[in-house]
Amino acid sequence: MGVMRIGHVNLRVLDMDAALGHYMNVMGMKETHRDAAGNVYLKCWDEWDKYSLMLTASDRAGMNHIAYKGEKDADLDVFKKRIEDYGTAVEIVPAGTLFACGRALKFNLPSGHEFYLYAEKEFVGKDVGVTNPAPWPTDKKGIAAHWLDHALLMCELNPEKGINKVQESTDFMMKVFDFHLAEQVVVGPNQDIKAATWLFRTSTPHDLAFVGGPVMGLHHIAFFLDEWNDVLKAADIMAMNNVKVDVTPQRHGITRGYTIYFFDPSGNRNETFAGLGYLAQPDMPTVTWTEDQLWRGIFYHTGEEAGAFTSVYT
């Protein structure tokens, strides 16, 4: 029973051809379906479900919804009751509402983000198969990211008005879905305002993160790479393709991951995130970053804000 991992994200893109050029030729994803409405579904080579990214043409960038995968279909009934008991409106949408998925819970996080939980999605398989597989496929384009790893959602934070959707969304994910709090940033005169949180269900430090900002939105979706050399190569490939890089290769203090931040052609921020970070376990103590060391936590080497990290998101 329980949530396993991030399932997929539905992003809005301004130009579908440009978006596909980015996610297929630069990130190395593969198109697995295109529906009558023109939505395009893609997967990474190391994923086995039908898709982890759904692209929707729109006149504005950003995220339509985010979906996580639960272990068993019957879990959905348990979680539906928990969500209702928490006081949040929730509905069960029938199989096929989310393309190639079973029935799903649909609700909004306290931050407002549209969220789905499903337990079944059409199986496609990894590119390397399951019988005596090669460690990686040789026919991938660009960065050849392994899988969609996590997302960071921006939540309204306005302490002067008593608004903290980071706190509310974190509480919700922990109490309703048994997410664990790996790390947090606390700010304010009493260091008691949760300004950012990193939550996990897998054995890595985050499957979902919340950061406070003026308005809700999508900060980034992250794709997994193995290790530091892959990060360097990924940055090279971004430069070769004139991808707008926001922050060049760095280590995060928070989660210890190796990172690059960059933008897709519609301005949605992407990350390549490499390394385990550390083994995350339900009984691990939460790591806290204080306001004065906040930027050391985010960009460990410089300890300073870089790029347009907090000022720009969709």
Residues near another protein (CB under 8 A) are 14-15, 18, 21-22, 59-62, 157-160, 185, 187-188, 193, 195-196, 211-214, 241-244, 246, 263-269, 291, 294, 308, 310-314
Q: Is 168 a catalytic residue?
A: no
Q: Is 252 a catalytic residue?
A: yes
Q: Which is nearer to another protein, 103 or 269 (CB)?
A: 269
Minimum CB distance to another protein, residue 138 (Å): 24
Q: Is 206 a catalytic residue?
A: yes
> What span, in angstroms and rounded, lies between the C-alpha atoms of 17 and 19?
5
Minimum CB distance to another protein, residue 248 (Å): 14
Tokens representing 47 are 């994923």
> What span, in angstroms and rounded, lies between the C-alpha atoms of 252 and 6?
21
Q: Is 261 a catalytic residue?
A: yes
Q: Which is nearer to another protein, 168 or 226 (CB)?
A: 168
> What span, in angstroms and rounded, lies between the C-alpha atoms of 43 and 30?
5
Tokens representing 215 are 């308005």
Q: Is 8 a catalytic residue?
A: no
Closest by alpha carbon to 207, among 69, 44, 27?
69
- 22, 146, 180, 252: which one is catalytic? 252
Q: Which is nearer to another protein, 1 or 18 (CB)?
A: 18
Minimum CB distance to another protein, residue 213 (Å): 6
How would DSSP label each residue in 110-170? TT--EEEEES-B-B---TT-SSS--SS-SS--TT----EEEEEEEEEEEGGGTEEHHHHHH
Q: Is 150 a catalytic residue?
A: yes
Q: Which is nearer to another protein, 6 or 211 (CB)?
A: 211
- 113, 146, 206, 219: which one is catalytic? 206
- 8, 150, 180, 219: which one is catalytic? 150
Minimum CB distance to another protein, residue 160 (Å): 8
Q: Are 262 and 312 in contact (CB under 8 A)?
A: no
**Helix (H) or strand (E) run with residue 92 in it:** strand 90-93
Q: Which residues are catalytic?
A: 150, 206, 220, 252, 261, 271
